[in-house]
Chain A
Amino acid sequence: MSSREDILGRVRAHLGRTESNATSGRAALDAYLKARPQGPRPRIGGDLVARFRAKSELLSSTVEDVATANEVPQAVARYLTAHRLSSQAVCWPGLAALPWGQAGMEVAARPATGSDLIGITGCFCALAETGTLMLCSSPDTPAAMSLLPETHIAIVPARRILAGMEDAWNLARAELGEVPRAVNFISGPSRTGDIEQTIVLGAHGPYRVHIVIVGGEG
């Protein structure tokens, strides 16, 4: 007997599975998958952008606002200069057209390597409940961009800030049809508390996450 049949066979025996209750069980399963009921959710009222900003800062991310996408490069350049960081960065292909050169930055649209210092991404959406970015992988939005570089810059359109994770799943179903290979929820810089439960930022991923919200004011 294969391990699969052995394991599933014992599970079925312990559950008292019969052909007829398997049929009704499958129908109930399909109905549940269709209904997808949500559990209790915290009330996230009011200004989602403000809540997202506040929660992100609690997670040790830094946040700033710009009115339009064209202002992003200037804002990023200012942030990098203030933190004495490199002005050379890599970004997702879709962000290459922003006026990086005018802001004095050198930004290449190519996959991130282990030695790139600054990685610039957008996001699929963001969650106000916890101050979390949701990134979906695709050929145009590779996952390593937000992981390998020491600094992660994330551009977040204000209208993509949702209340909670349930809303994000529904948006993904509506816009992408099915979940992509990798959905990464990112909540602040990488961290560890393994030694003496003392939190240190920058374990294996980025040391810092800087979020630029576009169109969130007024």
Chain B
Amino acid sequence: MHFKARAGQKLADVLLQENLGKAKSKFVGMRAKAIVEVDDFEATREAGKVLRNRALDDLDLWLEQFEQQATRRGANVLWARDGTEICRLVIDIARRHGVKKVTKSKSMLSEEAGLNLALEAAGIQPVETDLGEYILQINDNEPPSHIIAPVFHKSKEEVSALFARTHQRPALTDIQALTREAREVLRPHFLSADMGISGGNFLVAETGSVALVTNEGNGRMVTTLPKVHVVITGVEKVIPTLEDLATLMRLLPRSATGQSISNYFSLLTGVKKPEESDGPEHLYFILVDNGRADMVGGEFAEMLRCIRCGACMNHCPVYQTVGGHAYGWVYPGPMGSILTPLFTGLENAIDLPQAATLCNQCGVVCPVKIPLPDLLRRLREKQMERRLRPLKEILALKIWAWVARHPGLYALGTRIAVRYLKWLAHDGVRNDRIRILGMATEWTRGRDFPAPEGRTFRELYAARKGQA
């Protein structure tokens, strides 16, 4: 099933629409307040763009630098081509250290790999510990609908019913009480897990470290208490220095949740010393390709700057209306509409590049200035080139392109069209709305088409010029 069909279902889902309505704009308002605390947010965005480009322009060298430093501090750096290899590596590590239970903080790469199911199949118990991810896991491994707020689509009533059923406790209605219940259920898991798995917001080449941004403290738990820590992250996440990290930390939390800084921000380097009472004895980095390496240096390379803040989806009118699940894979919203076709193949994400109005809200808020609408448009061009669009659409665009190259014909065509449309709008009462438009019946099923004035811009311009 494609985006269009799923989006239709989501629009008809009354409960989802109610939940999305409630969630709408909270992040937007908080971001707007938080960015003015930085004297020059625009300059900081530009600096973020420049430093991400610096890393990506010499990605191989920065990765080698990272690997060298991480290894020096006692970590093992492993590489994975795809999700299958991630699963194999993680299961190998778990078996090597006799691991029975794994606590996880949020990792989108683990979603890309379907890691939880693979761990279960290998007899290893994965426990998601981010509150949102935990809710999804106990709801039969439901996929997240937002990269930083996984249960963006759920109401507290749904969470309450799910907790009561899973925990065999009386149903609670208060969000604070629900959070406390999750804390009580998850605390013993934190203390008993043999291995922790985390994602990585950034890899710092200077020090061979991973930087983790969290609010709940679960990220700290899974990287402090178990004897083994596995970091799974994309190869594009490397940045040069701790100074660069400071710059990005002025951008990421503000763009994500509208916080000046996240509650916890950890820089983790190497393994614990024998005389330390906490910290992992074994640290593994799994650096993942899964489609990223082939984006390097290409026409979609700018997308690799992405720091996964979610601002593009928070500000996207399409995302806000259909929610994250309509996008069909791990990454929703504008960034997902670009990454999904690139990671899974354009032919497997047939109408995702169309799932945007190109209004550029996403481009304006992106903390590292990724021109998201331009990249979406480029994907649409690719679809045309590869004939992945309906024949009718390809034909219509070809005709349009031909007419547009013939100005006389274009002028005549538009003159006829605006008069025809104006005539269509007459229904005896009003004449400014078209109720049913033959060429776009689906569009006018939900709303009226505004009627044109009856004359083209060029006609009006010529007339005004005559007057003056």
Chain A residues close to B by CB (< 8 Å): 2-4, 6-8, 10-12, 14-17, 22, 25-26, 28-29, 32-33, 36-40, 42-43, 55, 59, 111, 114, 130, 132, 137-139, 142-144, 147, 164-166, 169, 178-198, 200, 202-206
Contact = CB atoms under 8 A, between A and B. Distances in A.
B303 to A, nearest CB: 14
Q: 7 tightest A-B contacts by CB? A: A205-B217, A39-B247, A203-B216, A14-B297, A194-B132, A190-B217, A111-B277
Interface in B259-297: 260-273, 275-279, 287, 289, 293-294, 296-297
A147 B47 CA distance: 33
Interface residues of B, number: 104
Nearest to A180: B269
Contacts of A202: 179-180, 183
B392 to A, nearest CB: 36
B152 to A, nearest CB: 8
Interface of B: 19, 22-23, 26-27, 37-40, 43-44, 47-48, 51, 54, 57-65, 78-81, 85, 129-132, 135, 149-152, 154-156, 159, 175-176, 178-180, 183, 186-188, 190-191, 205-207, 209, 215-218, 220-221, 223-225, 235, 240-247, 249-250, 257, 260-273, 275-279, 287, 289, 293-294, 296-298
Given A33-B205, A192-B215, A198-B156, 16 more contacts: A10-B294, A11-B60, A11-B235, A15-B297, A26-B61, A36-B242, A39-B246, A39-B250, A114-B188, A137-B278, A182-B268, A185-B264, A188-B263, A202-B180, A203-B216, A204-B190
A176 to B, nearest CB: 11
A194 B182 CA distance: 12
8 contacts: A15-B296, A40-B43, A111-B277, A137-B276, A165-B246, A178-B207, A185-B261, A198-B156
B38 to A, nearest CB: 5
Contacts of A2: 79
Contact of A166 (B27, B243, B278): B243
A147 B219 CA distance: 11
Contacts of B218: 203-204
Contacts of B43: 40
Contacts of A7: 79, 81, 235, 287, 289, 293
A171 B24 CA distance: 42
A42 B293 contact: no
A21 to B, nearest CB: 9
B103 to A, nearest CB: 10
Given A147-B220, A192-B131, A42 B296 contact: no
Contact of A8 (B63, B135, B175, B276): B63
A113 B241 CA distance: 34
Contact of B191 (A114, A188, A205): A114
Contacts of A206: 217
A150 to B, nearest CB: 10
Contacts of B47: 39-40
A5 to B, nearest CB: 9
Contacts of A166: 242-243, 246
Contacts of A187: 261-265
Nearest to B177: A200
A205 B216 contact: yes
Most buried by B among A17, A187, A188, A189: A187
A194 B132 CA distance: 5
A144 B190 CA distance: 12
Contacts of A38: 243, 246-247
A167 B311 CA distance: 28
Contact of A195 (B159, B235, B246): B159
A37 B242 CA distance: 10
Given A14-B294, A169-B242, A185-B266, A192 B79 contact: no
A42 B260 CA distance: 12
Contacts of B64: 8
Contact of A3 (B37, B85, B175): B85
A204 B80 CA distance: 31
A187 B217 CA distance: 11
B269 A181 contact: yes
Given A7-B235, A182-B267, A39 B244 contact: yes
Contact of B151 (A32, A137, A194, A200): A194
Contacts of B272: 181
B83 to A, nearest CB: 13
B220 A39 contact: no
Given A185-B261, A193-B149, A204-B187, A29 B209 contact: no
B217 A147 contact: yes
B60 A191 contact: no
B277 A142 contact: yes
A12 B218 CA distance: 37
A7 B78 CA distance: 11
Contacts of B65: 29, 33
B147 to A, nearest CB: 13
Contacts of B26: 197
B164 to A, nearest CB: 14
Most buried by B among A42, A187, A194: A194
A15 B224 CA distance: 37
Contacts of B276: 137-139, 142, 181
Given A15-B58, A138-B276, A194 B135 contact: yes
B215 A179 contact: no
A194 B149 contact: yes
Given A22-B61, A203-B218, A142 B278 contact: yes
B80 A3 contact: yes
A164 to B, nearest CB: 7
